[in-house]
């Protein structure tokens, strides 16, 4: 009899099938990549939050529990891959992790959420112990960088041999043609992400208003969801509506079009995990201005592959943007260097292959997978 392919259930917060955030974007990229490869698992994506308010969230979460119990109890799930962030996501996903463990289903927990550190620090002691217990019930816990790994070990108490570092990935464009951007006299600046304080958008608007930046020739597109109407009003109040466009959320193709025409990509976040938008900018060969938060300084080096400025520092942000406006050679150099990092580490095929390798290890009896770098207790999926 022909063996059934592996069935992977993937649960994620943040509205995996409905929302426009980075986690959902990454998972769509991942599953699209797998559909092009032979022998990959069958993937069933279940959204635990949905597009609506609290009532919709409750219904989607109860549906997720029902599907897990019904499919898991009759052996239709070989592995449960849960995407976990802070606050309500941790509570909901903790329930699913425990159910999966109860049913004997190997669980892979994928950590997201830029503010997880603060969330954990603010938890009462008993809740911290509960989260430690839940995470240690997983077969593997996937994190985005070494800083996250050290945090899980030293602060939460996750067993080191359970932790796998697998970075995010995005698909690259079919071609990169920077000639039109290089020939323009006026620079085009692009921001992609949630419009609000966490992503540093107020800092960006303050930087746009500095005299030295106003004296240069540039236009900007600030695209994303979040506080869109409020930011449009702030742009108009600052008298920048002729320079700064705010289209709201844009889809994948429109975002790619913006990056193809961009000279500078800027993301002045206060908190991050591993932002998909930066990886997309690197894939398009755009010079990046960002902040050294989350895993960003683990893959971008100031002055070599990007310009990094402190979070919450509009003046330094303006200085970095001015430097790139004034120096086309530096823009090109940083864009090319960032694109090389993307090709080596962040193409979606790399992440997809590593996650599949981790799945293979997870469905076998638990064991330590040796790191490619030989580090003790670290898990790294095979290349």
361 touches 369 (CB < 8 A) = yes
- 189 and 143 share one domain: no
- 335 and 253 share one domain: yes
Tens-digit pLDDT profile for residues 9-51:
666 554 555 555 677 788 888 888 888 877 777 888 888 877 7
Neighbouring residues of 136: CB distance < 8 A, sequence distance ≥ 6: 157, 158, 159, 162
- 147 and 275 share one domain: no
Residue whose pair of structure tokens reads 């500095």 in the numeric block: 210
106 touches 77 (CB < 8 A) = no
- 316 and 191 share one domain: yes
Q: What is the pLDDT of residue 320?
A: 98
Residue 227 domain flag: yes
**Residue 176 falls in which region: left (phi positive, over 0), alpha (psi -120 to 50) or beta:** beta
Residue 377 domain flag: no
150 touches 365 (CB < 8 A) = no
- 278 and 193 share one domain: yes
- Is the pLDDT assigned to residue 1 strictly greater than 60? no
What percentage of the chain reaches a pLDDT higher than 70? Answer: 87
Q: What is the pLDDT of residue 25?
A: 84
How many Å apart are CA 274 and CA 110, to the nearest integer? 13
Q: What is the pLDDT of residue 338?
A: 97
Total structural domains within the chain: 2
- 315 and 358 share one domain: no
Residue 379 domain flag: no
The C-alpha torsion from 173 through 178 and 184 to 190, rounded to 10°, is 40
- 147 and 216 share one domain: no
Tens-digit pLDDT profile for residues 113-123:
778 989 999 99
How many Å apart are CA 16 and CA 109, to the nearest integer? 15
Helix, coil or strand: residue 55 = helix
What percentage of the chain reaches a pLDDT higher than 90? Answer: 65
pLDDT confidence tier of residue 126, bands split at 50, 70 and 90 = very high
Instruction: Report the run of H or E that residue 165 belongs to, with start and end.
Output: strand 163-165
User: Residue 361 forms beta bridges with which residues?
Assistant: none
- 189 and 296 share one domain: yes
Residue 335 domain flag: yes
- 64 and 106 share one domain: yes
How many Å apart are CA 63 and CA 57, to the nearest integer? 10
Q: What is the pLDDT of residue 52?
A: 65
- 31 and 102 share one domain: yes
* Domain encompassing residue 148: 7-169+348-362
User: Residue 170 forms beta bridges with which residues?
Assistant: 347
Q: What is the pLDDT of residue 383?
A: 26
- 190 and 337 share one domain: yes
In order of 82, 105, 361, the CA distances from 99 in angstroms are: 12, 9, 21
Among 147-161, 254-268, 338-352, 357-371, the minimum mean pLDDT is found in: 357-371
Tens-digit pLDDT profile for residues 194-253:
999 999 999 999 999 999 999 999 999 999 999 999 999 999 999 999 999 999 999 889
CATH at residue 254: 3.40.50.2000
pLDDT confidence tier of residue 379, bands split at 50, 70 and 90 = very low
How many Å apart are CA 268 and CA 321, to the nearest integer? 11
Exposed e or buried b per residue across 50-78, where buried means at least 16 C-beta atoms within 10 angstroms of its C-beta: beeeeeebeebbeebbebbeebbeeeebb
pLDDT confidence tier of residue 380, bands split at 50, 70 and 90 = very low
pLDDT confidence tier of residue 374, bands split at 50, 70 and 90 = very low
Residue 136 domain flag: yes
């Amino acid at each position: 009899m022909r063996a059934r392919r592996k069935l992977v259930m993937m649960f994620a917060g943040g509205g995996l099938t409905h929302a426009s955030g980075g986690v959902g974007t990454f998972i769509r990229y991942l599953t699209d990549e797998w559909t092009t490869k032979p022998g990959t698992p069958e993937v069933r994506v279940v959204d635990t939050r949905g597009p609506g308010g609290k009532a919709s969230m409750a219904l989607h979460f109860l549906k997720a529990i029902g599907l897990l119990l019904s499919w898991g109890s009759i052996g239709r799930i070989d592995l449960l891959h849960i995407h976990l962030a802070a606050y309500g996501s941790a509570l909901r996903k903790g329930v699913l992790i425990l159910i999966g463990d109860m049913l004997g289903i190997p669980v892979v927990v994928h950590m997201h959420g830029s503010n997880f550190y603060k969330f954990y620090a603010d938890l009462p002691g008993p809740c911290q112990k509960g989260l430690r217990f839940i995470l240690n019930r997983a077969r593997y816990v996937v994190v985005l960088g070494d800083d996250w790994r050290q945090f899980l070990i030293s602060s939460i108490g996750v067993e080191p041999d359970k932790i796998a570092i697998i970075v995010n990935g995005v698909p690259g464009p079919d071609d990169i043609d920077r000639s039109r951007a290089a020939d323009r006299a006026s620079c085009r600046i692009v921001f992609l992400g949630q419009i609000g304080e966490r992503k540093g958008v107020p800092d960006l608007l303050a930087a746009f208003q500095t005299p030295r930046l106003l004296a240069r020739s540039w236009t900007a597109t600030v695209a994303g969801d979040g506080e869109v109407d409020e930011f449009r009003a702030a742009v108009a109040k600052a008298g920048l509506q002729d320079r700064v466009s705010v289209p709201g959320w844009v889809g994948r193709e429109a975002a790619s079009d913006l990056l193809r025409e961009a000279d500078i990509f800027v993301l002045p976040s206060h908190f991050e995990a591993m932002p998909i938008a930066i990886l997309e900018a690197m894939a398009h060969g755009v010079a990046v201005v960002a902040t050294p938060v989350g895993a960003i300084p683990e893959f971008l080096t100031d002055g070599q592959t990007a310009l990094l400025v402190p979070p919450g520092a509009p003046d330094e942000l303006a200085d970095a943007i001015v430097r790139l406006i004034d120096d086309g050679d530096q823009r090109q150099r940083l864009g090319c260097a960032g694109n090389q990092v993307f090709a080596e580490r962040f193409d979606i095929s790399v992440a997809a292959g590593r996650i599949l390798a981790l799945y293979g290890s997870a469905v076998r009896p638990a064991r330590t997978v040796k790191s490619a770098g030989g580090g003790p207790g670290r898990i790294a999926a095979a290349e």
